[in-house]
Amino acid sequence: MNMQPTAVLAPPAPKRMSEMQLPIVMMRDILLKTIFRKTVETVSEIAEAICLPVTVAQELVDMARTQKLLEATGTLNANNGNEMGYQLTDAGKARALDALSQSEYFGAMPVPLEVYREQVKRQSIRNIQVTRDQLVKAMGHLVLPDSLLGHLGPAVSAGRSILMYGPPGNGKSSISNGIRDALGDNVYVPRAIEYSGQVITVYDPIVHTAIEQEPEDPTQLRRRARFDSRYVMCARPTVITGGELSLSMLDLVYNPTARTYQAPLQLKSTGGIFIIDDLGRQAEPPQAIINRWIVPLEEGKDILGLQSGEKFEVPFDTLVIFSTNFHPNEIFDQAALRRIFFKIKIDGPNQENFLKIFAMVARKKGVPLDEKALVHLLKVKYPTIDNIYANYQPVFLIDQMIAICEFEGIPYQMSPELIDRAWANMFVKDEKIVK
């Protein structure tokens, strides 16, 4: 029986420096670089800047003081709970500048890759169980046959790969977005992860939608550790790519100036959905794109490479949705198709559903229905294209009629004449152009 999604277990905050599982030198250098770049002074300010509990930040400060890289300013700041202020010594400034020449990264302490793996398991997309009611609610704005929802539901709940195919303009992209909306819960996205001493930034405001948290009092030593603040609580991420997708976008991106890496799209979509729309329109052939996904789809892990050539594994926990207007047999071999878990054909609507969509769009856009115009559309125009209906056509035709009415300075309306004028813009006549 399908169950409602349970709350994702939050990543626990480290209680002491020994729990960080990061190289000591890396933590110290990030501390010094952050103080240098952000001019934070008190331990509470430092803790907030490096996204660690105050107790752990205090340990780092004490270590830096022991190494004579930090010193107390000898003043208490009344605006910050009478906390002691700290500043870099000359040796600390020199070390910060040297560290910045090796890597410009500062701010939030990264999460070790091995620690992040555990959080991925806690919030796996495969833990999601979507009910029919959830799917219907998320796609309530779409007119879909019940049989289609019956195919989509198990596919989403399984958290496995989905191939949606069929003629263009029938809502494959809208259905993909509806699947995203049906998930509904939140996950924790690391600001950055660490592997082999390298920093890989993951959190991306363009991809991730952060969930606002109630502010805490930074002056309190006993702060509410709701979760490790090196993570950002976000809605389950959705990455959507189309014809612009290239295989290079699935590799780590190295910034030679900052000397840090940026996570590829599939790593940013961990715990969520990766939608590859318009498959077959990319520069690379579809077979090459699907070949890149074989290991991740089968083994739940991906292989990335550093500038040094070193390869390493990262979790692959993403619901991949391929959407194409081509028949799968035209663009894939059988080995590739076997590795895509669900194949769902998205057909155009029948006449009854077409009329439902047409009426719904007309009502939403304020265009009154006209019986003569509808009869003309169904009996005169559609037979010319063998009565093949598509979900995009009602919106297209009604928008065309609205544009004509606005140009002519008449109230919104529909008529056989307006239908003819709108129809003329929906298709291009197959003819030779004399040059």
C-beta separation of 2 from 129 below 8 A: yes
Nearest to 193 by CA among 11, 46, 54: 11
- pLDDT, mean of residues 185-194: 94
Backbone angles phi, psi at 273, to 5 degrees: -125, 140
pLDDT higher than 50, residue 1: no
Nearest to 185 by CA among 234, 256, 120: 234
Q: Determine the 3-state secondary structure of 314 from DSSP.
A: strand
Average predicted confidence (pLDDT) for the chain = 88
Q: Which residues contact 314 (CB under 8 A, 6 or more apart)?
A: 113, 267, 301, 302, 303, 304
Domains and CATH numbers, the chain: 23-107 (1.10.10.10), 115-212+223-345 (3.40.50.300), 351-426 (1.10.8)
Query: Cα–Cα distance between 75 and 409 in angstroms, integer?
Result: 73
Say what percent of the chain tops pLDDT 70. Answer: 94
Q: Cα–Cα distances in Å, from 342 out to 162, 338, 399?
A: 5, 9, 35
In this structure, are strands 192-195 and 111-112 parallel, antiparallel, or unpaired? parallel
Position 239, amino acid: V
Q: Cα–Cα distances in Å, from 398 out to 211, 222, 364, 402?
A: 37, 60, 11, 6
- Residue 79 has a pLDDT of 58
pLDDT in tens, 145-158: 777 888 888 888 88
- Burial (0-12, 13-18, 19+ Cβ within 10 Å), 258: middle
pLDDT in tens, 310-335: 999 999 999 998 988 888 888 888 88
pLDDT in tens, 220-274: 555 454 789 999 999 999 898 988 999 999 999 999 988 999 999 999 999 999 9
Out of 55-64, 176-185, 198-207, which region has the weakest mean confidence (pLDDT)? 176-185
| Banded model confidence at residue 3, pLDDT cuts 50, 70, 90 | very low
